[in-house]
Amino acid sequence: MKLARQSFLVGGLFLAAACGSSSNGPDEYQAAVPTFSGVSAEVSGASSEGASLTASSGAEAGLIAPTPGAELQASTTPDWLPKIRDAIQSLNQGLKDAFGPVERLVLTNGPSQVRGQVYIYGPFEQGGYSYLLSVVRVAGNHYGWKLQVKKTGDADTAFVAFAAGTTFKVPSDQVHRGRGTIGVDLDAYKTVVTAFPGQGKLFVAFSHHGFGPAAADAGVTGQSKTLIYALRNFSADTSKWQPVDAIFYAHKNGLSGVTSVRVASYADIPEIPNDTPAKELLVGRARYNPGVGGRAEVAITGGDLSGKVFFGVECWDKAEALVFKATALCSLGEEPGTGSCTWTKTGDEAACHVVLATGMRDHVEPSDESDASPDPDAPANDVPGVPSQMPAGDGN
């Protein structure tokens, strides 16, 4: 789900607000718009996840190296982690590109217009298109925002809204942090930027809350995030990713650094039995603990698996070397590890040092692609409901 370079959509608006209105930093309206870092999904933050606006340092290459003593019969490279990262990157690329122009261009002075409680920033021009950001204070610490686009120089054409959201802040929230919702309409964007290769809609519910005074004492206030994404016929680039209708999920614990993600994607999965170029649906999740390692679970259906489900589990160490993996081929509705649906295991299961949250299943089910519930150990317990239609940008 990548977006073409010319589009720069979602990531920019988030960044836009990050741009200050003066040497004293962003004004309160800009500060109410979330930045990309607050809405991106990540496992470890590796550059292949696209979770940062800038490329990761060369340190990532050092993470993908075999750990001495990892006794596996095959490769020490994880099977499922790269596929989950690819799905994350597609999501993040959509977010990043959708808001990129605003992020870079709001680094000027404050609003160009003020109409009562509405602050207007721009228009900002890039790549032959003009972008206009408006932020409204609805009441107290409740804000709405809207990003619009049109072709530069076309005075008789109206701006077209393609991204909007609502943010609720409390006094302890840092700039660009809070809780709220976002909608991104790539179909609307494409009516203006006709060569844009993406499509569909992306809805996000987010909260940056969690741990209260403990986060403040540790100096990590605003670093936790809990995110639920609804992708509707969404692809950032249809030449690279097949559009999906699914729920994604991500959280990051600002105190421990532990992350958790859930994704879904269509791809040819060569690890399944009797593989052909047909695409399967992979529903996967991953959990990462800095300095310890991570684990992933997948459930794969469709394609070459007619009437079957292929389950996979893997664990890797802090160097991302595989230490354990297990697979099971089951009929639809069967529970892996029961009856004839048995696990085939390789490596040392005791080396799986990253554990699941209390109450979580030890495997993924195909139905998890529509699960919008946060993990039991999510940092925030106040995530709003995911929008089912595009926000108006007026806070309602």
Averages of pLDDT over runs of 10 residues in the chain (396 residues) are 42 44 68 88 91 49 33 70 95 78 56 88 88 92 94 93 94 90 94 93 95 72 91 94 97 95 96 92 97 97 94 96 96 91 95 95 95 96 96 85
For residue 302, the number of C-alpha atoms closer than 13 Å in the C-beta half-sphere is 14
322, 295 contact by CB (below 8 A): no
The pLDDT assigned to 395 comes to 74
Q: Is-above-0.85 flag for pTM?
A: yes
Q: Coil, strand or helix: which one is 74? A: coil
Please, what's the largest Cα pairwise distance for the chain?
A: 69
326, 346 contact by CB (below 8 A): yes
311, 363 contact by CB (below 8 A): yes
Structure tokens at 396: 């309602």
The pLDDT assigned to 16 comes to 42
The pLDDT assigned to 76 comes to 86
| C-alpha of 218 from chain center | 25
The pLDDT assigned to 185 comes to 94
Q: Provide the pairing of β-strand 129-139 with 160-168.
A: unpaired
214, 234 contact by CB (below 8 A): no
